[in-house]
Structure 1
């Protein structure tokens, strides 16, 4: 009996092998290991994105940090200057500086080496992306922030000179600039020639200010502002909810334009409420310290739209572990494919926030247990919003490079299609 079973099995096996050969699929493993194919594949960490950084003269970047400097040779890790302590609000637009620093930094082979999300390559042929270290936000703040003074011409000329450099680059011409990365976190950064970067990867904090063809989520990356208050590093109270005596805190400019007009309206809605602090203030060194203290002693921090849908205040609240109350109907948030903001933030529409008593009553009824869990979440995720040199694992800079990496497959698709299409963008016109 056993012999018959064995012979039957051998016959079936030979039949399967013969059939597989005749139909052109000699690999019969799928007949016997199908179950193993359903098991998750074990993979190591994703390799970092390979970035080529242009060696630009210092007037395009760190030279703006020192008006007395005339040095023009490209900056290196050995002479990369620290961000100045007295920079004030300019710091909130300094993403370009920290991204450049992350590529310059020379590691010593420690564990941080393996945690990088971007590595600099000296051979452009090996690059996945090209970083253009032009401090366009700092250029506006340094040369053209009044919009009309003669210094504005320096900002415009830097943009003209940069585009002249890029238009001569074979790598810019090869992709049409699609794989080139530009940090532009000030809403007026690169304002003279920005339409020439419509195809490039822009690192921005607000999309609401620009038309879709200029900035959109299909190709661009949402960045946080660099927070200007000090991070709350010793927030270890046993009962943080009761220790924070102010229900809702806001300190900042109340006269804004566009969506920011809601701030003046909120001033009237929230006036005279005992446990709400809503104050007009300007960003001086002392006022920034006072804001930090106010956020640390408040349960909720109000983040209404400013001149653009987002504001630095949101990220100040996050590093202060003060639950953000976001009032902005068109805001886009950084790292949202990895971070769920509803776990540590509260959202109100303009209509809800301006209804007298509605928002405050909702916050007063907010369960203590739920608030405490949000506070814990803020402590767990706040490191994702830290810009620092040298960079650290999963800090803001590494998170941004990971976001850039996510854009590369679509960039390559666009580049490859553009090379062979005889009628460019025909699929768009069809729609």
Structure 2
């Protein structure tokens, strides 16, 4: 005969212990001694500490929810709402002052206070100086002066030195375009002025100095490529950093100095006016758009063909076609046509870049870049492949088929990307500077070149 001994289950033991605790707690009223009280408390806490902790934690969050002066949102919700709020005006207006030190690694820039003949006099002479497509030299100067977080009044604390010379404001009286004939002498005079009065240029031969060259072939300072190449970059600027609209992804004499490719200047107010004139229903009734210089036969100027014949090929192939809106005549309100267009053609002119690139992107028209080897502004941070098309110059004869293919495949995705605020912001200059705008991206590019800072190299060598 066997005897089965059944052990009490854990649950039963707990129930029994709970009974004992209850009895002992009740006996306390009858006058149990202190030792028994401590024993009872210990047994009770050992068995119910999890519930006790959970109770107090719940109580903490419960009271925080109702009595906190802040909005009853969790940390995660706060972070999400910061990034998803449709209106970012307040965030943008304060972000530079609060985050620049972290973003730009404490970088400081000293802006030279040059005599008015190098900059202010040019703006006074012509209002166009601060509004035309080459006016980034003016906008960057003003934006830097407006940002106290990066600007320093003590040159000894500067990482970089900005040289504010406006070379694109000398408008020709014959054709109204900027004349660059004075650029080299004007810049050379500015460098002589700095080297005579300050020690900072001479100690580095200008390697931590920053210039703007916002015209066709950058620091070569000539509108015709062959002449620009022949003259090259002035010797005194070859060690410096050039902010220039000209950029190609192959070896070229006019970008053989340290440089940052920047967007041309488009007045933000002109973009706003175009948006206000856009159709209320948002309909884009122009399929493929281009307005600008197009020659029936390319002009041969000393062997130089305008746009390498690309614009002429587009005119001959698609002029008069129903889906192509091509116009050779100037029209001051042409941005109101861009805002109605699906595709905006951006063929090269004398130089590869064009203001149409910026105008199209910020007004939601898909830029169709036709300029072999072009390097687009801020390519390290702006994802151009997601907001534009690139068509080889030799393929303009197939342009209609290419655009039709995009229209039935990924057009809606490109258009959705173009609506993202960060793309538009990166291509426009603001005064004062805003987080993520064109000047902000220039500063970010300079931050990546802090190894050229004389101040920092001295600290590392000590």
What is the TM-score with the length of structure 2 in the denominator? Answer: 0.64
Secondary structure of 1:266's aligned partner: helix
8 Å Cα contact 2:184/2:234 also seen in 1: no
Alignment of 1:34-49 (within 5 A): 45-49=103-107
Q: Provide the residue aligned with 2:117 in structure 1.
A: 59
TM-superposed deviation, 1:320: 1.3
**Is 2:258 the counterpart of 1:219?**
yes
Q: Provide the residue aligned with 1:141 in structure 2.
A: 171
Distance 1:336 1:208, change over 3 A: closer
- CA distance, structure 2, for counterparts of residue 263 and residue 233 of structure 1: 27
**Is 2:312 the counterpart of 1:264?**
yes
Distance 1:106 1:352, change over 3 A: closer
Q: Provide the residue aligned with 2:361 in structure 1.
A: 318
Secondary structure of 1:365's aligned partner: helix
Alignment of 1:300-319 (within 5 A): 300-319=343-362
- CA distance, structure 2, for counterparts of residue 177 and residue 246 of structure 1: 49
Q: Provide the residue aligned with 1:394 in structure 2.
A: 436
- CA distance, structure 2, for counterparts of residue 307 and residue 399 of structure 1: 26
Per-residue CA deviations over 1:109-144 (Å, capped at 9, x if unaligned) read xxxx6xxxxx11122221111100111222x43699
8 Å Cα contact 2:289/2:338 also seen in 1: yes
Q: 2:412 aligns with which of 362, 372, 381?
A: 372
8 Å Cα contact 2:348/2:370 also seen in 1: yes
**Is 2:182 the counterpart of 1:182?**
no
TM-superposed deviation, 1:199: 1.4
8 Å Cα contact 1:198/1:215 also seen in 2: no
Q: 1:273 aligns with which of 291, 313, 321?
A: 321
Per-residue CA deviations over 1:300-344 (Å, capped at 9, x if unaligned) read 000001110111111111121100011110211111111111101
Secondary structure of 1:174's aligned partner: helix
Secondary structure of 2:288's aligned partner: strand
Q: 1:334 aligns with which of 377, 380, 400?
A: 377
Count how many residue pairs are aligned between Structure 1 and Structure 2.
333
Secondary structure of 1:342's aligned partner: helix
8 Å Cα contact 2:104/2:443 also seen in 1: no
- CA distance, structure 1, for counterparts of residue 130 and residue 307 of structure 2: 21
- CA distance, structure 2, for counterparts of residue 301 and residue 194 of structure 1: 36
Per-residue CA deviations over 1:265-313 (Å, capped at 9, x if unaligned) read 211111221010111123xxxx131x21211111100000111011111
**Is 2:434 the counterpart of 1:404?**
no
- CA distance, structure 1, for counterparts of residue 251 and residue 117 of structure 2: 30
- CA distance, structure 2, for counterparts of residue 184 and residue 400 of structure 1: 14
Runs (5+) with no aligned partner, structure 1: 1-42, 69-83, 108-112, 114-118, 421-431
Secondary structure of 1:121's aligned partner: coil
TM-superposed deviation, 1:94: 0.8
- CA distance, structure 2, for counterparts of residue 298 and residue 147 of structure 1: 28
8 Å Cα contact 1:136/1:189 also seen in 2: no
- CA distance, structure 1, for counterparts of residue 350 and residue 290 of structure 2: 16
Structure with more of its chain in helix, by fraction = 2
TM-superposed deviation, 1:207: 3.3
**Is 2:187 the counterpart of 1:165?**
no
Q: Provide the residue aligned with 1:253 in structure 2.
A: 293
TM-superposed deviation, 1:45: 4.0
**Is 2:160 the counterpart of 1:102?**
no
Q: Provide the residue aligned with 1:10 in structure 2.
A: none
Runs (5+) with no aligned partner, structure 2: 1-100, 222-230, 299-304
Q: Provide the residue aligned with 2:6 in structure 1.
A: none
- CA distance, structure 2, for counterparts of residue 220 and residue 121 of structure 1: 23
TM-superposed deviation, 1:225: 0.6
